[in-house]
Structure 1
Amino acid sequence: MTLQTVILAAGMGSRLGRSLPKPLTELGDGRSIMQQQHDNIRAAFGTDARITTVVGYRAETIVEAFPQVDYVYNERYDQTNTSKSLLRALSKTGKGGVLWMNGDVVFDPRVLGRAIELIERDQSFVTVNTSKVSDEEVKYTTTSEGFIAELSKTVVGGIGEAVGINFISSRDKKAFIRHLTRVDDQDYFERGLELAIAEDGLMLEPLDISDLYAVEVDFAEDLERANLYV
């Protein structure tokens, strides 16, 4: 079955201070952030992997740069957060599991290679980094069985950070969509995962990629750090 992938790229990315959508930011190797993501997806899953991108702010610039993929438009991109962008995309992806990522993550190609085994098992997961825990990042805790218990920016005693690359299995997808529908417009998609864990017993596995690089580019210093790797 062809893997469904989603890139969330609707936001304005104002903190980086660029006029173009943040995923079009050029990296040190000449590629954009989104091109690096496309290259990583194709390297791991082949040219048949289906990419759906959620666009909003200056959508036409992304569509022009990547005309070969599918698009979903979040017309309320300036009023909603990633929960509602992801909801729009998941509703268009059929019954299978979906891999999704934030459109501003520059990451090691080996991250997706490590994820293949979980995807083939149809096991929901979030990719995590246990080497640091910053207050402003999405943090997590685990149950005694090793699955995700809490997942948000307000987690106390977090044991690592979520990287922004995730997978929802075919069996968990319906419940996740239901919770994304009910969360607040300004919630991140992680809120939907937390509700699915609490109310539906979602078993969400942490995929540790601490030995690999993954940089979420919010500020100029993040871009400088990402360029050390590419």
Structure 2
Amino acid sequence: MVENSTFKSLIGSEVKINRGGHDAITGKLIGVHSNYVALSSEDGAVYVNTTHVKSISQSPNQKSSGTNGSITTHIKASSFNALLHELRHNFVKINRGGPEKLEGIISDVTSDHAIVIINNELIRVPLFHIKSVTVGLKSRGNKNGNKNGNKSRNTNGNAIAKSGGNKSSKSNRSGNRTNRSDRSNRSQRSHRSSRSSNRDRGSQGFNFWTPPFFS
């Protein structure tokens, strides 16, 4: 295990904890505490249990700041166990990879294990097997929620568009039938008027024969 004095001398530097494999972590060292250290990484804040730290190396192009203050905000607790208590009800990633990696919500922490909720299932993880905890991950639930929300909005939009199109089409067909009916009525009225006019003209042009009166 690496001594705390070594960690403190590297605060503010880009470091790599452990040499390789799933336990390797790269980031800026921002805090050193009794039995854990805090790093700022691309994934978020990573809290590493120093019991499992086998080595620490500094990036060649970085120099130690030599200060004891943290650069970014992180959780300051008296121990790694107390840190886990502070992280209750938060979505975290326990360990970095491999079969020991878990992603879920810390429900509770006892003296010897942490209870993690994963897909509505309670998982008890012995504290000794927790090598690191990453906080600040984007929950998969949010992504799924966005996808479902987008699908729902698209579906509703399509339904509205179809409904509007159907209504418009029905309205057009109804309007066409009305127009045809109006034209038919006008044509019939015009035809009747024409026949009536012809009869009137025929009646005016015909001379009726009147028989002579015989006394």
- Asked which structure has the greater CA Rg, the reply is 2
Higher share in helix: 2
> Which structure has the higher relative contact order (CA within 8 Å, separation 6+)?
1
Instruction: Report the TM-score range of the alignment, normalised by the length of the smaller protein.
Output: under 0.3
The TM-score with structure 1 as length reference comes to 0.23
